[in-house]
Homo-oligomer: A and B are copies of this chain.
Amino acid sequence: MTEPCLIELDPSVPNAGGTLTDRLFDALQRAIVEGEMPQGSKISEPELARRYGVSRGSLREAIARLEACKLVERKPNLGARVVELSAEQLIEIFQLREALEGMAARLAATAMTEAEIDALGALLAQHGQQIEQEQGQAYFQKQGDLDFHFRIVQGSKNRQLIALLCEDLYHLLRMYRVQFGMRSKRCRQAFEEHQYLLNALRSRDPEMAELVMRQHVRSSRRNLEQALR
């Protein structure tokens, strides 16, 4: 396991960005998502505490938060391990997304402001350009798609939905993208589906928005299921 280095933890200004536990949580989350701490690897509290130069108490609180995000699994008296990603779990997550983002799209169709919809349109236009030029595909794969979905969830204005998707599931999903190297060839089709969705939002049609979003997520899932064999 490559050293998740402790530099980010004691920058010149102490306590930059909240409490120590917060920064630890961010650092560990990044390390896990990026794969610096391999799946299923044991998390030794004394070792990590030494490595990051913090006490075990703060570290344990950070680990507790990671557990809430489903990024680590902890068993009493046995310690914590980084989660093991599996095809089954990924499918389950996409089923969740289909339900949640479908509802998000439905709500966004009436809750988004005109300005937000326009901004979404601008983002999509940008994506279109990048795809046209066959460049920036990497960006679209890695960030663009997530950005688009992110904004729709925000647009639902439902705080429960936002917290769930953008704070918990988001990172787990990102972990799959990074470690499974999920770069489907659906990029063009996904772009088209995004445009259909934008149209539904522009027409303020909740029913249609949910339908399109669910179909979109379901297509991604089917594509995945096929790629996983």
Interface residues of A (CB under 8 A from B): 18-19, 22, 57, 60-61, 64-65, 68, 70, 76-77, 89, 92-93, 95-96, 98-100, 102-103, 107, 158-161, 163-164
6 sample A-B contacts, Cβ–Cβ < 8 Å, listed by A number: A61-B64, A68-B68, A92-B158, A92-B160, A99-B99, A100-B100
Mostly helix, strand, loop or mixed at chain A's interface?
helix
List the B side residues contacting A61 at CB < 8 Å: 60-61, 64
List the B side residues contacting A99 at CB < 8 Å: 99-100, 102-103
List the B side residues contacting A92 at CB < 8 Å: 158-161
> Taking CB as reference atom, which chain B residue is nearest A210?
B99
Contact of A18 with B76 at beta-carbon distance under 8 Å, contacts A60-B61, A158-B96, A159-B89 already known? yes
List the B side residues contacting A68 at CB < 8 Å: 64-65, 68
Q: Say yes or no: A107 contacts B95, CB within 8 Å.
A: yes
Nearest CB in chain B: distance from A2 CB, A = 28
Contact of A95 with B65 at beta-carbon distance under 8 Å, contacts A22-B76, A76-B18, A76-B22 already known? no
Q: CA–CA, A18 to B76, complex, Å?
A: 7
Contact of A160 with B96 at beta-carbon distance under 8 Å, contacts A57-B57, A76-B19 already known? yes
Contact of A96 with B161 at beta-carbon distance under 8 Å, contacts A61-B61, A65-B64, A68-B68 already known? yes
Q: CA–CA, A22 to B159, complex, Å?
A: 28
18 additional A-B pairs beyond A60-B61, A68-B68, A95-B160, beta carbons within 8 Å, are A19-B76, A61-B61, A64-B64, A64-B68, A65-B68, A89-B159, A89-B160, A92-B159, A93-B160, A95-B107, A95-B158, A95-B161, A96-B103, A96-B158, A96-B160, A99-B99, A99-B100, A99-B102
